[in-house]
Homo-oligomer: A and B are copies of this chain.
Amino acid sequence: MTRTGSRTTGRPTLSEVARLSGVSPITASRALRGVATVAPALALKVHEAAQQLGYVANPAARALASAQSQSIVVLVPSLSNQLFIDTLEAIHDVMRPRGLEVLIGNSHYDIHEEENLIRNYLAYQPRGLLLTGFERTEASRRLLAASGVPCVHMMELDATPGVASVGFSQEQAGAVAARHLLSRGRKRLAYIAAQLDPRVLQRGDGFRQTLQAAGCFDPALQLMAPTPSSIGLGGELFNDLLRRHPDVDGIFFCNDDLAQGAILEASRQGLKIPEQVAMVGFNDLPASAHLVPRLTSIRTPRAAIGRQAAQLLLGLLDGKPAAHPTQDLGFELVVRES
């Protein structure tokens, strides 16, 4: 059944729809696209003919003729992180019902790999781009600017005019975690982080600055692993930290995976949480609310970021300048038992 070397697709074409409905292909095209100038009676006939033939427009022909595809490109640094999955799913659920195809590029936390993705995906003439954060190569920036394709940035914020972004302040999130721990009377506060992307570092900065202002920052309590995060790693880093600094009484983790690993390891060792060490996670993954003790975490609006970024982009595609090009969706400290 596999046709090789054929020129035709074997699928019904616009011309066949036009012939069956007794109009020209252009009129059929207009009717099917919902262009208003077509007489209602003709439009109906065209739709019936299309239905009867099982006609679905060839996106390649459409893209070639109009110099514009029906795709949106989303670039994320990872698919292993639940954070991006939630965002991606929300984007998908906004774009698909509008007939837009979501092309997903995974940069694996590598800005050069991202540059290649941009180069290749731009050839698809996407309607728009959804990018993660602002860290990229100069060449990537040039490619994006030269393409003229509308972009919306996700996760981080940048209020520069002409830049669209949907996210929240990563630094403030770090600061809030620090203030929470300080408010509980904790003084020996650590930051445990892995997969040191720009956002993890920004949260660390916010955390550090708040501790410095409170006069209790100790650089020795910053445990930064460049490797990917995982629950197992969280337990290991927690043990490392407590072995070297048994007096630590509060920890902010750059994400819930690490925090969950630590809480489970503490439970296994019979350590009292939060009496001995208070813990704050980040993202508020589903399991966190159910751990024993329940994990205090910072809930991030990751689905809302995807949804809002998608809608902001949709607005940009219609050519109207965005009313709110910088959308701070905030975050929420969810205080639980840890």
- Contact in complex: B60, A69 (CB < 8 Å): yes
Q: A292 an interface residue at 8 Å Cβ cutoff?
A: yes
Contact digits for A264-293, partner B, Cβ 8 Å, 1 yes 0 no: 110110000000000000000011011110
Residue of B nearest to A11 (CB): B123
- Contact in complex: A264, B291 (CB < 8 Å): yes
Least CB distance from A173 to B in Å reads 23
- Contact in complex: A67, B6 (CB < 8 Å): yes
- Interface size range of chain A in the complex: 35 or more
Least CB distance from A66 to B in Å reads 8
Residue of B nearest to A117 (CB): B96
Of residues 1 through 45 on chain A, the ones whose CB sits less than 8 Å from some CB of chain B are 1-4, 6-11
- Contact in complex: A104, B123 (CB < 8 Å): no
- Contact in complex: B235, A264 (CB < 8 Å): no
In the complex with contacts A60-B60, A104-B104, A264-B291, A125-B89 CB distance below 8 A: no
Q: A314 an interface residue at 8 Å Cβ cutoff?
A: no
Residue of B nearest to A139 (CB): B54
Contact digits for A115-146, partner B, Cβ 8 Å, 1 yes 0 no: 00001101111000000000000000000000
- Contact in complex: B92, A58 (CB < 8 Å): no
Partner of A64, one of B61, B264, B290: B61
Q: A224 an interface residue at 8 Å Cβ cutoff?
A: no
Q: A335 an interface residue at 8 Å Cβ cutoff?
A: no
- Contact in complex: A56, B2 (CB < 8 Å): no
Residue of B nearest to A3 (CB): B148
In the complex with contacts A120-B56, A125-B60, A292-B267, A8-B88 CB distance below 8 A: no
Contact digits for A326-338, partner B, Cβ 8 Å, 1 yes 0 no: 0000000000000
Residue of B nearest to A78 (CB): B89
Q: A223 an interface residue at 8 Å Cβ cutoff?
A: no
Least CB distance from A104 to B in Å reads 7
Contacting residues, chain B, for A125 (C-beta < 8 A)? 9, 58, 60
Least CB distance from A201 to B in Å reads 24
Least CB distance from A9 to B in Å reads 5
Q: A80 an interface residue at 8 Å Cβ cutoff?
A: yes
- Contact in complex: A148, B2 (CB < 8 Å): yes
Q: A155 an interface residue at 8 Å Cβ cutoff?
A: no
Contacting residues, chain B, for A2 (C-beta < 8 A)? 148-150, 317, 319
Bound-state CA distance A9–B123 (Å) is: 9
Starting from the known contacts A80-B85, A80-B89, A267-B292, 16 additional A-B residue pairs (CB-CB under 8 Å) come to A3-B67, A9-B125, A10-B148, A56-B119, A59-B124, A60-B69, A82-B82, A85-B85, A102-B104, A231-B286, A231-B290, A232-B290, A260-B287, A260-B290, A264-B291, A265-B290
A-B contact pairs, 17 of them (CB 8 A): A3-B67, A4-B319, A6-B67, A10-B148, A56-B120, A58-B125, A60-B69, A60-B124, A64-B64, A79-B89, A80-B85, A80-B89, A85-B85, A232-B286, A232-B290, A264-B292, A287-B287
